[in-house]
Amino acid sequence: MISNHRLSKIGIGTWGIGGFAKRNIDNYDEKQIDAIAYMIDSGLNYIELNIWTAEGHSVELVSKAIKKSRVDRDNLFLSQAIYSYTAPNLIAAKKELDACLKTFKTNYVDSLSLNEAAIASIGYEQVITWFKQLLKDKIIRYINFNNPSFERIIEARKIFDDKLFSIEIGFNFEIRENKKNGIIDYANKNKILCVIYQPLRRNRTALRNWPILIKLSKKYNRTQNQILLNWICSKGFLPLTKSETIEHIKEHLDSLQFTMDQTDLKQLDEFRPPNYIPPNPYWGVVGSGIRIDQLSNVFDEDFDNQTKTK
């Protein structure tokens, strides 16, 4: 059973494995299995899972990749996420957890999380009671919250103490709202790991060719994505990456093989998209503006619309 202090600095994301919301019947399964096995054999031991992705086919492919790798299950940290799309009630959520345990032939997952919509749909008190029972029965080792509000983290910390091991949030070069809101600072202060989805905005950040990234890419003789991953990892965050090609996997791994000057890290910290006013985000199920998890997806169109007339 892997210690939470022995996690790799980069984790394996599974969005797009086997399909997206729906299973891709033309998916190149073997290529994805080989890629995930290579990541595992290369030392990446944190894997995010969810039954919703590709209608369960995603976790099946990850399971096959683990079997193909040279690493056994107890040396991997499996973090399962449950979403309201497929788990609108506690019965469905329990079925997803059971399905994951069965697929990986294990009696525990290392971390379990629900998104805010699932919590609202199931009922907050039921979720807390369920989490407590799962921890007591050692079916899960830790809990995680997906895109939680500041208030959610504080309350969960009071209830679960250090069993609230991590939060999964959006943070990248253009999107810093979880920093601005104080969520990241609170997590850091309380030793709650920030697991980052879309750290590279699915390669869209590099496509924008921000001058500072071009400059640092040349200075360190690294790709822009390597600069970005190095910067995020330097903060103690755990970014999730996904690739189907060995070349790109090696690129991600090599992002850990150099150290940037503090002055350069500061420049990256201080960057904000020029002449851009971010939309008002909201955390939770409903609110005015843009839901926090969608900020990375709407950025390009929003930025271009705001700046094309300036």
pLDDT tier at 27 (50, 70, 90 boundaries)? very high
pLDDT of residue 3: 87
- Asked whether residue 3 is domain-assigned, the answer is no
Per-residue pLDDT, 5: 86
Tens digits of residue pLDDT in 253-290: 999 999 999 999 999 999 999 999 999 999 989 999 99
- Specify the 3-state DSSP secondary structure of 211: helix
For 131-160, the pLDDT digits (tens) are 999 999 999 999 999 999 999 999 999 999
Percentage of the chain beyond pLDDT 70 is 99
Tens digits of per-residue pLDDT, 118-132?
999 999 999 999 999
Domain that holds residue 230: 11-307
**Average pLDDT, stretch 170-181?**
97
DSSP 53-101: GGGGHHHHHHHHHHHHSS--GGGSEEEEEE-TTT-SSHHHHHHHHHHHH
Q: What is the CATH number of the domain that holds 286?
A: 3.20.20.100
Calpha distance 243→145 (Å, rounded)? 25
Lowest mean pLDDT among 57-66, 74-83, 279-288: 279-288
**For residue 4, is it within any domain?**
no
Indicate whether 6 belongs to any domain: no
Give yes or no for residue 38 having a pLDDT over 70: yes
**What pLDDT score does 236 carry?**
97
Token couple for 124: 């907050």
Give the mean pLDDT of 233-247: 96
- Give Cα 180 distance to the centre of its chain: 19
Number of compact structural domains in the chain: 1
Considering the domain boundaries, does residue 66 fall inside one?
yes
In a domain, 263, yes or no: yes
Checking DSSP bridges between strand 164-170 and strand 193-197, what pairing results, if any? parallel
Q: Residues 40-67: what's their mean pLDDT?
A: 97
Residue 5 lies in a domain: no
Rg (CA), the chain: 19
Which band of pLDDT confidence, cut at 50, 70 and 90, is reported for residue 308?
confident
Q: How far is CA 189 from CA 143, 171, 182, in A?
A: 18, 17, 11
pLDDT digits (tens, 9 = 90+) for 181-206: 999 999 999 999 999 999 999 999 99
pLDDT of residue 310: 56
Per-residue model confidence (pLDDT) at position 52: 95
**Alpha carbons 224 and 226: distance in angstroms, whole number:** 5
For the stretch 90-100, pLDDT in tens is: 999 999 999 99
Closest to 237 measured CA to CA, from 178, 280, 282, 290: 178
According to DSSP H, which parts of the chain are helical? Answer: 29-41, 57-68, 90-103, 116-122, 124-136, 150-160, 177-180, 183-189, 204-208, 211-220, 224-234, 246-254, 262-270, 295-307
Chain position carrying tokens 């683990």: 66
Q: Model confidence over 203-238: pLDDT tens digits?
A: 999 999 999 999 999 999 999 999 999 999 999 999
Structural domain includes residue 85? yes
Q: How many whole angstroms separate alpha carbon 131 and alpha carbon 146?
A: 14
pLDDT of amino acid 4: 85
pTM above 0.85, yes or no: yes
Contacts of 249 (CB under 8 A, 6+ apart): 35, 38, 39, 42, 243
Does a structural domain hold residue 79?
yes
Share of the chain above pLDDT 90, in %: 97
Average pLDDT, the chain: 96
Residue 9: closest CA among 248, 253, 258, 251: 253
